Chain A
Amino acid sequence: MSDPTLLIMKGITKSFGKMQVLRGVDLEVNYGEIVALVGDNGAGKSTLIKIITGVHRPNDGEIWYKGEKITLHSVRQSRQLGIETVYQERALADLQEMWRNVFAGREITNALGFMDVAAQRRETERLLREHMGFTSTAITADSPVKVLSGGEKQGVAIGRALYFHADLIILDEPTMGLAIRETDRVLNFVRGFRDQGKAAIFIDHNIFHVYDVADRFVILDRGRVAAQFAKSEITQDELIATMVQLHHTGTLQ
């Protein structure tokens, strides 16, 4: 338990046909830490997180999670291990009730597969009030997701991860398309997560949000980790300058 490292990835490679997307990525995530993955489009960020969430399998490399070497082969398995992903708002089904969304793929059922709808509704209601900060009585566990604002939807997606006791939460562009006030709310969710001693991997195009919330920055470039910095080692302007330089020259020198 004294080991502070939650996730270790060593030499991860992945190619799709002839296209090599990851060329040996090393990544570590500690408990109580928010790691930002930054890099240009095509740097391999989303492929890397899809490997962590079990969508893709790496061609080569090792993954260690909570001190054990693991092989991830499905989304379901990752979720059972406590790895949750928040994909923008697109991982919600708009016409369905909140409770159906919260429990999608992990319904509370009896042996025959029939759901305990009352329990799912009750838990969703509790989640709404206690963890997501919904106060309006117009929104209940029975409301379809389509009536929510973008920030509220993101809250549901994050709340869903919290409910299932995730230890590692992966946020893929969680603030895209949100109003400023709603962005603050999402960033607060993420900070709250760290305060519980859990870890997060954060991907966002907006470098101001990234700098604001993350403890460490891992810069990916063309399938490799080009550099990484703790927040104390680099200012926001330096981080931006580094990324621009990488983009133009492909090196840090």
Chain B
Amino acid sequence: MTAENGGAAPTGLRTWNASAFVREYRLQISILGILVILYTVFLVGNPLVFMHFQIYQSFMTTMPFFGIMALAATYVITLGEIDLSFPSIVGISAWVFGTVFVTTGSFGLAIVGCLSVGLVTGLINGLIITRIGVPSIVATIGTMFLWRGLVNVMSQGKGIALVALRDSPLYDVFVGRLFGVIPVQFVWFVALAVGFAFVYRRHRYGSHLLYVGDNQESARMMGINVERVKIIAFMQMGFFAALAGIFTTSEVTYFWPTQGDGMLLTTLAAVFIGGTSVFGGAGTIFGTFIGVVIIGSLEAGIIAIGLTGFWVRFLNGLLITVAVSVYAFMLKRGR
């Protein structure tokens, strides 16, 4: 990364340098370390389960549901903002998905309706935050209740059976099994992660996210349209929450009114374990990806090595607390 040939710097000092590499990527290395340790414990604790493909297939089925939202949330958190409403956006957009499908019988129309709801709800968040000036944590508590409440009113607390989704060729595009074994949603998740990473590091928009998150005033002075950057961030969050809604609904071919609930903390935990700074201006998509893998395999792993389900939350909490403390310490020393 640093081996560009610009400038008249003396030669010899620009060769690849292991300690500089470690310093630059210390967050990524730490999180990878946590993953390796975790999987070592799992493999030693229960080789029978963890040496077989079946558990990984199960992970690949469920991780993308919150993983896709963790990717999108990384952008929002990089801005120094937060979105608490995306689980409710999953709910409302999935309800639209189910309702449109039942009414029209078209998977395609259901997708369009669902994703539009995601974009519009995200836009509403963005407008409340930038135009009205409500801090994002407060604004999205409001819309979190609003959309969940609306789901309850519209569905009257009832689920929608969607078994007919299986008859559509689009079903396999979203939640089929590649070569009969790999859940397609995981392929989506990996592809999206690559896309998110490229935009984050290489696209003008990603650069603006980092700049605004780091120093909003300075971004404004440099002619960056801060409000637009924020609105787009909340819109993509809504869009990908709706996409996650399509995946979860299609996988189980059922809409239920509490859909999305319980995804809030796992999603945000994955982002924070991944090393994205809550203060904004710093983060990596790679970290979030590994964070999703860690959070997504923790529960099953803990059960598999013989601990009771009671330990899941405790160990989850321990991991998150230790990880974010280590990052904070590293950042402090890096100054």
Residues in A lying within 8 Å of B, measured CB to CB:
55, 74-76, 79, 85, 87, 90-96, 100, 103-107, 109, 113-115, 117-118, 121-126, 128-129, 137, 140-142, 146
Whole-angstrom distance from the CB of B170 to the nearest CB of chain A? 27
A91 with B222: CB separation less than 8 A: yes
Known: A94-B214, A94-B215. 16 other contacts (CB 8 A): A74-B223, A92-B215, A92-B218, A94-B281, A96-B210, A96-B281, A107-B207, A113-B203, A114-B198, A115-B204, A117-B202, A121-B4, A122-B4, A123-B6, A137-B9, A142-B1
Q: Contact string, B1-30, partner A, CB cutoff 8 A, digits 1/0?
A: 110111111100100000000000000000
Which residues on A sit within 8 Å (CB–CB) of B222?
A: 75, 91, 104-106
Whether B261 is near chain A, meaning CB under 8 Å from some CB there, is no
Whether B221 is near chain A, meaning CB under 8 Å from some CB there, is yes
Whether B211 is near chain A, meaning CB under 8 Å from some CB there, is yes
A93 with B1: CB separation less than 8 A: no
A85, B207: Cα distance in complex, Å: 21
Whether B77 is near chain A, meaning CB under 8 Å from some CB there, is no
B6 with A114: CB separation less than 8 A: no
A121, B220: Cα distance in complex, Å: 22
A114, B200: Cα distance in complex, Å: 10
A107 with B221: CB separation less than 8 A: no
Given that A93-B218, A140-B2 are contacting pairs, would A104 and B204 also be in contact in the complex, using a CB cutoff of 8 Å?
Answer: no
Total A-B contacts with CB atoms under 8 angstroms apart: 102
Whole-angstrom distance from the CB of B27 to the nearest CB of chain A? 12
Q: Contact string, B215-255, partner A, CB cutoff 8 A, digits 1/0?
A: 10111111110000000000000000000000000000000
Given that A104-B219, A113-B204 are contacting pairs, would A93 and B214 also be in contact in the complex, using a CB cutoff of 8 Å?
Answer: yes
Whole-angstrom distance from the CB of B167 to the nearest CB of chain A? 37
Which residues on B sit within 8 Å (CB–CB) of A115?
A: 202-204, 207
B211 with A129: CB separation less than 8 A: no
Which residues on B sit within 8 Å (CB–CB) of A121?
A: 4, 6
Whole-angstrom distance from the CB of A81 to the nearest CB of chain B? 12
